[in-house]
Structure 1
Amino acid sequence: MLASIHLTYVLGTLPFEQRFAAARKLGFQAVEFPFPYSVPARDYAQLLADHGLSQISIGAPAADYKAGMPAYSLTPTLKPQFDQSISTVIDYAKVIGCSRVHVFAGSRAPDVSEELAFETYCQNLAEAHDRLEAEGLGLVVEPVNSSDFSGYFLDRLDLALRAIARAERPGIKIILDVYHAHVNGEDPVTFLRDHGKSVAHIQLADYPGRHEPGTGKVDFDLVFQTLRDVKYGGSVGLEYVPTRSIFDGVPLAAELGLSVASGAS
């Protein structure tokens, strides 16, 4: 199982370049960092290569959904920006050797109805999927709860399945965030049992609080047993807000198959 760590959420207190060395020393094989564009692609690729790491996915450039800006993917008048975002991510992804592209849903503009936003999103997903596939890249989407991220359009796992079906591109896969699912009252274990083949990556944080596994109510033993039961073939990563230093011990190290479980520095 390919295990990853989020460079911002978990390792964000370290200087940027040191995060890659830390990830490797902790035993991870891959990292998450959705928007690396402030770093030239060749420099970012070198950081990955120097530490024997791969990039789990890369986000296509997106409007600031945390500030509620209208999403490129949902807004018909922003189609040129959406198309350019796909061109940009293709170029960057190929340089850094990342095979998955995350198209963020973002926020719906007030003058765009839910129906139009959904149809626009699905059409954009279909076109993006085909462009990416032609370059040897895959497309992933992630439901993000709209309680923590007010106005986020793709806010449920069932809505992601609907969007993929409407786009008529079963090759589009899902990032399943255990925390987001629990916020929504959705059961990630049931989703894995019913739709495991649709999941490409799983992000782990406990609920409530979005802190490290073991601080909340999520039954991670059951999560990992389910992954074994469904013969899950994707990747799993830690994406949580720390309450303690990960260098005091990596949560779920054994389950993630890490070679260094604790005490890394």
Structure 2
Amino acid sequence: MLRFTANLSLLFSELPLPERFQAAKRQGFDAVEIQFPYTLPAAQIQDLLDQQDLKLVLFNVDADTLLQGGEGLAAVPEKRDQFKAAVEQTLVYAERLKPNVINVLPGRCLDLQRLGEYQATLLENLEYAASAFAEIGIKTAFEAVNSHDMPGFIVDSSFGMLDVLAKVDHPNLFMQYDIYHMSRMGEDCGGFLRQHLDKIAHIQFADCPGRGQPGTGATDFATLFDIIAAADYQGWVGAEYRPTVDTASSLDWLKTYAVK
């Protein structure tokens, strides 16, 4: 069964964040996700969720200036304490909002001579986060981001994620699989999903190229969604695309693929 969430950081961006919850519910979503919810108090987010009878499925640990071109937090050796403080902030929100999954963005290494040091720091920090969120019963995930859009990203392939999983070897650590990012890297998303859904806690998607809604690129969503629906996948599938029109007009795919 497919269960879709609206990523409120990208969808309904024509509205202020507090108004996006109602907009998502009106369009048929029962769950939402937010990249970084920390601009709103956790109590306010909970009220907005309750008002619309919505579930908050996922959000990220803070990633510092990653989206502005920086290296992020999770792999930078000099930022270990800052990463742990970010995990503590996330714990406060998670204890109130009770998401299914917390995601950690591995971040970039902009000095390749230090790549090994960054990779070791990432493993250490993922183990720390996975243990911290396990204590409150929330899965920890991390994701690969394509290196075309974000050069220098520490983990930029699905097989890189498998390598990290094996090295950390923590029962509460899973992959967040982003169909857009892995398509952008030229990977066989369908083949990977068939083999490794048991290691995936959350899926996100956008069409490729362009990162728009389904139908704006070349991704075969009918096949990919059939693979997910036919499997024993227990997670959610997050619409994390940049609408090429107003968000409501971009949702034809939801009528086609949503299963109640």
Q: TM-score range by the shorter chain?
A: over 0.9
Q: Is the 8 A contact 1:61 1:85 kept in 2?
A: yes
Q: Distance in 2 between matches of 1:143 and 1:44?
A: 27
- For 2:96, the equivalent position in structure 1 comes to 95
Q: Distance in 1 between matches of 2:17 and 2:136?
A: 29
Q: Is the 8 A contact 1:68 1:151 kept in 2?
A: no
- For 2:259, the equivalent position in structure 1 comes to 257
1:171 Cα shift? 2.8
Q: Is 1:33–2:34 an aligned residue pair?
A: yes
Question: What percent identity do the matched residue pairs reach?
Answer: 30
TM-score, normalised to structure 2, is 0.93
| C-alpha RMSD over aligned residues | 1.7
1:14-53 alignment runs, 5 A limit: 14-53=15-54
- For 1:263, the equivalent position in structure 2 comes to none
- For 1:7, the equivalent position in structure 2 comes to 8
1:166 Cα shift? 0.6
Q: Distance in 2 between matches of 1:88 and 1:143?
A: 23
1:42-191 alignment runs, 5 A limit: 42-110=43-111, 113-191=114-192
1:89 Cα shift? 0.3
Closer, same or farther: CA 72–243 of 1 in aligned 2, 3 Å: closer
TM-score, normalised to structure 1, is 0.91
State the number of aligned residues: 258
Q: Is the 8 A contact 1:74 1:117 kept in 2?
A: yes
Unaligned runs of 5+ in 1: 259-265
1:36 Cα shift? 1.1
Q: Is the 8 A contact 1:174 1:199 kept in 2?
A: yes
CA offsets 1:59-117 (integer angstroms, 9 cap, x no match)? 11222113332332112221111111111100111112223211111122527621111
Q: Distance in 1 between matches of 2:122 and 2:249?
A: 42
Q: Is the 8 A contact 1:5 1:23 kept in 2?
A: yes
Unaligned runs of 5+ in 2: none
1:247 Cα shift? 2.2
Secondary structure at the counterpart of residue 37 of structure 1? coil
Which amino acid in the other structure matches residue 30 of structure 2? Q
